[in-house]
Amino acid sequence: MTAENTETVQEVHYDYQVAVKFRNNSHPYTFGSDRNDFRPGDMLVVETAQGIEVGECTAKPLPTDKYPPKFPLKPVIRIADLKDKRNYEDNFIFAEEAMKICQEEVDDLGLNMHLLSASYVLDRSKVLFVYTADQRVDFRELLKRLGARLHCRIELRQIGERDQVKMIGGIGLCGMECCCSRFKTHFDNISINMAKNQQLALNIEKLSGMCGKLMCCLRYENDIYTEMTQDLPKVGAHVEYEGEMYRVTSINVIANQARLENSESYQAVTVDELREKAIIRKGVTIKRATGRRTLNRTASRQVTEKPEENKRAETPKQDPAKVQTRTFTAKKQERQDKPNNNARPEKQNRNRRQNRRETAPANKPNVTVRSFKVNREKQEGQGQQRAASEKL
């Protein structure tokens, strides 16, 4: 590409910046203009990313040389005349009708989406529908039906939980209006490490805002806490302080207090003393102080449980040879007196398998012929045992 074919987009410089607030938003947006005769309360026609819209001026214009903007500005076209104001008021009526039509089509198609708002641009060439959904929605058929009924350009925008709260508004845990709907223009990345850095209780319900996400105000003081806790040992670390080993149990940088404990004593020091005098020791374990409950349990066990020597003294001594002989003879006599008819000795099982192999025909190896020879021997053995028992 040559230098002649390249197109450079130059940023337009405006002498003044004007704060304009729209009806659907609670905080104003900044636009550029070369005029400074706008007054608070004037209705201005401005160019936005959506198209031409009408908003209300909230403050006097500020010079850009003294207050430079952080991003490129869209222009203020003119002050709204009677026709612009009439169209602006009529657009809200048309937006309500478009909302009803879109809701009917969504219910007819069975789409899993929740409509929040509908808004027209000033010339009603485009309508914007804002909705929330748990998953992506295939709204191609919905666009066809809406285009046939509304006869304008259709735009569907899916937003998240934070944007929903920003649009609707609400009261936070502090009792004030949510920061996102009051003054914030973009969302910061919030993590649970910010709550840990500020030594807050890791209760998700208390740390979450109206949107169900972590509160944006966790970001405000995170940098200060990070600076104040720099070069400090973490809670639970083992440190050497004034020649003794301790464990850091708590640190309060706002009150400038820290607590060190071991199994014998504890120390209450300031955060500055902990940073200067304490030496972190890794790989060292410190015994914790035993509580009253543990001591009482061990004492009660020592009193109630008898020593092993006393237990041995209480049990009478018996001759192991006599005990073993008595149990052996008793078991032997029991076997002789009570024959077990269900028992199958190993010798009988071996003979039975051998008889099956001999009686099986050679030409049919998979056929098993039942033999009654073993059963007859078994019955004869049982009869002999009964006759011997009767004689006894």
Domain final residue pick, 228, 256, 272: 228
Separation of alpha carbons 92 and 97, rounded Å: 9
Separation of alpha carbons 354 and 61, rounded Å: 113
Average pLDDT over residues 76-100: 93
pLDDT digits (tens, 9 = 90+) for 244-289: 889 988 888 888 888 899 888 888 888 888 888 888 887 666 655 5
Q: Please, which pLDDT band fits residue 97 given cuts at 50, 70 and 90?
A: very high
Q: How many domains does the chain have?
A: 5
Domain final residue pick, 136, 159, 182: 159
Separation of alpha carbons 306 and 301, rounded Å: 9
Q: pLDDT value at position 26?
A: 73
Q: Can you give the residue range of the structural domain that contains 27?
A: 16-80
DSSP category for residue 138: -
Q: Please, which pLDDT band fits residue 325 given cuts at 50, 70 and 90?
A: very low
Q: pLDDT value at position 346?
A: 56
Is 171 inside a domain boundary? no
**Residues 202 and 195 sit within 8 Å (Cβ to Cβ):** yes
Average pLDDT over residues 377-385: 70
Domain final residue pick, 228, 252, 283: 228
Average pLDDT over residues 337-364: 56
Separation of alpha carbons 78 and 52, rounded Å: 11
Q: Are residues 139 and 202 in the same domain?
A: no
Q: Are residues 309 and 326 in the same domain?
A: no
Is 179 inside a domain boundary? no
Is 186 inside a domain boundary? no
**Residues 33 and 42 sit within 8 Å (Cβ to Cβ):** no
Q: Are residues 39 and 68 in the same domain?
A: yes
Q: Are residues 93 and 153 in the same domain?
A: yes
pLDDT digits (tens, 9 = 90+) for 133-156: 988 888 899 999 999 999 999 999
Three-class secondary structure of residue 179 per DSSP: helix
Which pair of tokens denotes residue 135?
A: 């998953």
Separation of alpha carbons 185 and 117, rounded Å: 19
Is 58 inside a domain boundary? yes
Q: Are residues 100 and 126 in the same domain?
A: yes
Is 183 inside a domain boundary? no
Q: Are residues 299 and 246 in the same domain?
A: yes
Q: pLDDT value at position 323?
A: 44
**Residues 277 and 316 sit within 8 Å (Cβ to Cβ):** no
Q: Bigger pLDDT: 389 or 117?
A: 117
Render 62-129 in DSSP notation, one character per residue.
Answer: EETTTS--SS--EEEEEE--HHHHHHHHHHHHHHHHHHHHHHHHHHHHT---EEEEEEE-TTSSEEEE
Is 4 inside a domain boundary? no
Q: Are residues 238 and 301 in the same domain?
A: yes
